[in-house]
């Protein structure tokens, strides 16, 4: 039997509810991308839900009357939630019909915010028509501000709509920069003072020592400390003077063959194994081959230190395409993994979670990958160990 056309469909309300639940889950994940997706899901859910609230009825029961429609208080609550989204949100419902959905969107177009509200409006329309999400710079009375623009198209009652959501990036990026500088200064101070303090102390006492052997021991210690400080400065220069990448088409299977020849025998000699895989074998990438190999060697060296003392150490280096056609390279080991709470610190210059580490391998690897337009991040596999993933 066909459905009764007089009965309103429950699908928009059900889809709207699912989108609202998805928004709550995404918001709990944290991060700018998750929050942006949460705002889009919440806005889409409310847009689907609001027009149907007045029509929605519970299924008729044989002995019970139909349920009353939602009251105005519930409708007002949902409209208030939409208006107070923690982002600037607009709805594009025509070629140039851009309607603000949140207070933040209206404030951004009001005097005292964007220098030219009309220029911002035209910029948003052009981005929406070209489906160009990403960073957006807005000239405000406080100066240029960076925002993240997310777009979502949907069909409602036969009409094509586009949601535009802007999230501010400036304050978050500034806080991250300040925290990075604070941590870097703390590490630099720690390393330099660790060398200069004993040097100053020994230099003062060496002149007062009468015993020739004791004086020579003090001078030797000063020499070693000075050499350590020189290595530290050299490492710092390596971090700050990385050459720009020379990009070319690279055959990953050839890179993997060279890496396996260079590192696999050492893993076998330790009673373990090192596996390298490329899927498909003909996979190509545009990168700097020398810098890509150096980044991978740094990650492999990090895995080697992490698995010291294991009877059967394992290394897996794999490359494959993601569903979005991006290259994903993973370097995984079966060691103890990164200690909890240190996931962000491990990329800090001169910070090492392992004894004897110099703390520059991961920093250099991330810098090289970033220079080639990629991203390096740490993942915690379910089976244990550590996994570092490069996306290009």
Distance (Å, whole) CA 121 – CA 97 = 10
Say what angle helices 170-206 and 212-240 make with each other, to 10 degrees. 160
* CATH for the stretch 174-240: 1.10.287
Give the position of tokens 């044989």. 62
Answer for the pair 350, 329: CB distance below 8 angstroms, yes or no: no
Which SS3 state, helix, strand or coil, does residue 375 take?
Answer: strand
The CB density around residue 183, as the number of other CB atoms within 10 Å, is 15
The CB density around residue 283, as the number of other CB atoms within 10 Å, is 16
**Paired sense of beta strands 273-279 and 284-287, if any:** unpaired
Q: For residue 62, what pLDDT is reported?
A: 47
Q: Tell me: the pLDDT tens digits for 202-238? A: 777 776 777 777 778 877 777 777 777 777 667 666 6
**Annotation: CATH topology of 11-168:** Beta-Lactamase (3.30.450)
Q: Can you read off the two tokens belonging to residue 20? A: 């609202």
Enumerate residues 6+ apart whose C-beta is below 8 A from 357.
Answer: 305
Phi (first) and psi of residue 5, to 5 degrees:
-70, -15
Q: For residue 173, what pLDDT is reported?
A: 53
Distance (Å, whole) CA 326 – CA 286 = 11
Distance (Å, whole) CA 243 – CA 367 = 10
- pLDDT 10s per residue in the chain (392 long)? 444 444 444 445 545 555 555 555 555 555 555 555 555 655 655 555 555 444 444 444 444 555 555 566 766 777 777 777 777 888 888 878 888 888 888 888 877 778 888 888 888 888 888 888 888 888 876 677 778 888 888 777 778 888 888 887 765 555 555 566 666 666 666 666 666 677 767 777 776 777 777 778 877 777 777 777 777 667 666 655 667 899 999 999 999 999 999 999 999 999 999 999 999 999 999 999 999 998 999 899 999 989 998 999 999 999 999 877 889 999 999 999 888 877 777 777 666 665 555 567 788 888 889 889 898 999 888 888 999 999 99
- H helix and E strand count, the chain: 10, 12
Measured torsion, CA atoms of residues 177, 182, 185, 189, in degrees rounded to the nearest 10: -170
Q: For residue 104, what pLDDT is reported?
A: 84
**Annotation: CATH topology of 248-391:** Heat Shock Protein 90 (3.30.565)
Q: Where are the domains of the chain?
A: 11-168, 174-240, 248-391
């Amino acid at each position: 039997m066909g459905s009764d056309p007089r009965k309103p469909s429950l699908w928009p309300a059900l889809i709207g509810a699912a989108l609202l639940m998805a928004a709550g889950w995404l918001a709990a994940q944290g991060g700018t991308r998750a929050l942006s997706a949460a705002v889009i899901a919440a806005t889409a859910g409310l847009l689907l839900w609001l027009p149907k609230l007045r029509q929605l009825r519970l299924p008729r029961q044989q002995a019970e009357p139909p349920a009353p429609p939602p009251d105005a208080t519930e409708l007002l609550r949902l409209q208030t939630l939409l208006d107070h989204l923690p982002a600037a949100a607009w709805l594009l419902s025509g070629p140039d019909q851009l309607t603000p959905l949140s207070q933040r969107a209206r404030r951004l177009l009001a005097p005292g915010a964007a220098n030219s509200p009309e220029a911002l409006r035209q910029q948003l329309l052009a981005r929406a028509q070209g489906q160009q999400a990403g960073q957006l710079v807005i000239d405000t009375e406080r100066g240029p501000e960076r925002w993240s623009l997310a777009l979502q198209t949907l069909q409602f009652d036969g009409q094509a709509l586009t949601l535009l959501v802007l999230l501010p990036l400036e304050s978050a990026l500034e806080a991250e920069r300040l925290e990075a500088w604070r941590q870097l200064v703390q590490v630099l101070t720690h390393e330099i003072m660790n060398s200069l303090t004993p040097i100053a102390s020994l230099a003062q006492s060496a002149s007062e020592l009468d015993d020739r052997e004791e004086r020579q021991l003090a001078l030797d210690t000063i020499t070693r400390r000075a050499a350590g400080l020189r290595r530290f400065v050299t490492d710092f220069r390596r971090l700050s003077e990385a050459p720009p990448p020379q990009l070319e088409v690279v055959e990953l299977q050839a890179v993997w063959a060279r890496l396996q020849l260079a590192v696999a025998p050492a893993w076998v000699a330790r009673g373990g194994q090192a596996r390298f895989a490329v899927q498909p074998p003909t996979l190509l990438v545009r990168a700097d081959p020398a810098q890509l190999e150096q980044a991978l060697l740094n990650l492999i060296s990090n895995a080697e230190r992490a698995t010291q003392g294991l009877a059967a150490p394992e290394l897996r280096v794999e490359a494959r395409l993601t569903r979005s056609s991006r290259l994903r390279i993973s370097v995984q080991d079966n060691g103890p993994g990164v200690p909890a709470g240190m996931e962000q610190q491990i990329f800090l210059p001169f910070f090492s979670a392992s004894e004897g580490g110099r703390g520059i391998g991961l920093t250099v690897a991330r810098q090289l990958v970033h220079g080639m337009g990629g991203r390096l991040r740490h993942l915690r596999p379910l089976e244990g160990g550590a996994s570092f993933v490069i996306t290009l």
